[in-house]
Chains A and B, each alone.
Chain A
Amino acid sequence: MRKLEVDVAIIGGGPAGLAAALAAHDQGAAEVLIIERNHELGGILQQCIHHGFGLHRFKAELTGPEYAQRFINELKDTDIKVLLETMVLEVTKDRTIYAVNSREGMLEISAKAIVLAMGCRERTRGALRIPGKRPAGIFSAGTAQRYMNIDGYIPGRKAVILGSGDIGLIMARRLTLEGAKVEAVVEILPYAAGLARNVVQCLEDFDIPLHLESTVTEIHGDDRLEAVTIAKVDENWRPIPGTEQKIECDTLLLSVGLIPENELSSGAGVELDPVTNGPKVDDTLMTSIPGVFACGNVLHVHDLVDNVSKEAERAGAFAAQYALDKLPAPPRRIKVEAGENIRYVVPHEISLERPVEFFMRVQRPEADVYLDLGGLRRVKKPFVRPSEMLDITLSVEQLSKLEGDTLRVRIVSGKEAGVDA
């Protein structure tokens, strides 16, 4: 078994891992190692050949591979080490990593700090329990995307897409551009789950019908998918009898949500948030295990890669500080609580020692409201939607006014709020 020792080990070489590695290196960590299971860096971005990445960070409309390449190029000027085609099997509490690849066999890597950046996976048909048969031709949207954009195959010629998440919307356009017909996008919510700009650019511009408050109630076909039945749902998401409609298709894509991939984290004993399915972290993005940090979609599912990079840079920098013994435990710990119409907030705990950037999502859409951070800061929001992550920073000065040991984040209506702080 080959043994290695590093300052900061980063698990996952997608956008989060890349930004974390660069930041750790900039902070002065001597040995930074990225471990990636794929044969190239860039993660899921490599199959996202559409544009729309980097608007915030680079003020440019890049494709996924272009966005990733900017970081990969930067990496080339550093001595950051990369292990490709290497699969991490286990992470332990004392920060030992077991990984395999075909060149070196089993690797035992001891790290002073670890950054978890494994990304997420897609929710499956099983998780939705769609009734009916089990023919070929049912894909998660990301799998179909990989078949089309990496392998060069088109899954079928007539598709229905269940779920209006961003990948589903992007795939509706992609299939159409490849000459397939997208018969319908079906969404159980009364509004689209993906970004508003994707609804316009991927569905409306191509006349693809979006069926809201609807779901797929049955799958037909023995060998290959032949049709799906869709129906309207009531407020409890139950199909309404009499509203069924059978749509012929040979392909069904599922774009019904992403789940952070935390098998390694929970194996190590990292405490998870049942709402995000990601680790609980503090304002340094450190998990419940000292020296283990998390960022990107493994922490919570982001909708913009720009935010992932930003978050990962902080995780990488703090990981380096931890490795260099420059991150003392804070004297005070404040709990962050999700209040009215807030589904979750990251981080889960703060220290008042440093400015904090909060990421959060609401439970339901609302118009004309204020986002309130423990009364310390209040921001007017014309709209809040679950599909669009909210992002707000509190300065050390603002934090210094906090009383008590919890900070409650909530949405308050325009009437109640009165002022715009």
Chain B
Amino acid sequence: MSDVAQNQFNIREYIRENLFPHFMCPGCGHGIALRALLNAVHDLGIDKNQLAIVSGIGCSGRVGAYIDANTFHTTHGRPLAFATGLKLARPDLEVIVITGDGDCLAIGGNHLIHACRRNLNLTCLMLNNEVYGMTGGQVSPTTSADRFTTTTQYGNHEPIFDACKLAEGAGAGFVGREMTLQTPALRDLIKEAIAHDGFSFIEVLSDCTEIFGRKNDMGESAEMVLAQKADFRSVSYGTEIGETFKPRGMKTGVLLRDDRPEYAMAYKRHNEKKLKQ
């Protein structure tokens, strides 16, 4: 067999096959994000024993459980806090956090801004499906305007968070966004995020087909995936409520790259200086 064949990505080497089929609903975008992540890990040649996946609670958080590596399914909103402790104790590990829009921006919003501020070398994938999927479809901080959820029966009227702007503002070293429809691009973005030395935040535009999709009449799974590119998703995505809708107005790809000091290194240098005094 040639080198090419040996290096071919075989996803089964990276998953816990005995847990399959996974629990996610038909068409759920989180499964596509899982593939992109594992392919990135493969391409970077990261040893599974050196990989730690820390996830929160939600359908997104559950994704981590299917990865054949060191996985840590933590509490709702707190995966970044657990990951911070883990990375400081075991800097040799590649620590990747998988979280959801509710997990990361609502209950865990505080942890997110401080993780960005510290700039510890972690990679955070926020799977944004605009909804609390796991608990049956409540409104989340990223639910687009006028969308129906179980807690917005007349359509959502709240302004949303632009998660990437939030991460940029809070000081993340690397910020990017990609949709599951563009899986190879998502894989490449994840590779760049992992390779970046500092806190990397990626917003993955995912789909909750069964709950959000049904409630909002967004068509079948395939239509929902395709709609990421078009009008559905961006009704108010990334814009203020009331602002006119800009199709394809959202930016994807690497949005920010800042080489400011990484937390653990800066911490070490600081301590050494103080101890000398």
The judgment on whether A and B are partners is: no
